[in-house]
Amino acid sequence: MTTVTSPLAGRAIGLASVPDPVFSGAMVGPGTAIDPVREPSEAVAPVDGVIVSLHPHAFVVVDADGHGVLTHLGIDTVQLNGKGFELLVNKGDTVTRGQGIVRWNPAAVEEAGKSAVCPIVALEATADALGELRDDGDVKTGDVLFSWR
């Protein structure tokens, strides 16, 4: 079983509340979302694993069990072309849970006209594979968001 922890501090709101139909409809996969605190911060690895996809606005870490966890920093933030995001690791790097992956500022994302809401998605999973799903309440970086059976 894989435990997925929050890469950010903020408020868990669940995927259904994400202002994007691809995420809110769980088309990418099941999971939850975080409405992050509005201050410069680092998004950290939600699991131990390897960075298999890395963009300024999103990253995927695959753990030893082959579970891929997507962290997407904001909605439509690909349109910012990396402005306001700083990569702290490289694709292919092995990372540990809690290690900084991307430095960003959710307030600047909103100032640029984008949503700062961050989906955290279990890629290629079914909804019934997840347990202990956190979809409301305040979360700190490192708090458990869900378990993956």
Question: Is 72 one of the catalytic residues?
Answer: yes
Helical (H) or strand (E) element with 95: strand 94-95
Are 70 and 123 within 8 A, CB to CB? Answer: yes
- Of residues 55, 57, 67, 72, which has the active-site annotation? 72
CA separation for the pair 11, 37 (Å, rounded): 8
Do 14 and 25 touch, CB atoms closer than 8 A? no
Would you say 106 and 74 are in contact if contact means Cβ atoms under 8 Å apart? yes
Q: How far apart are CA 104 and CA 14, in angstroms?
A: 21
Q: How far apart are CA 67 and CA 17, in angstroms?
A: 24
Indicate the DSSP class of residue 39.
S
Q: What residues act catalytically? A: 72
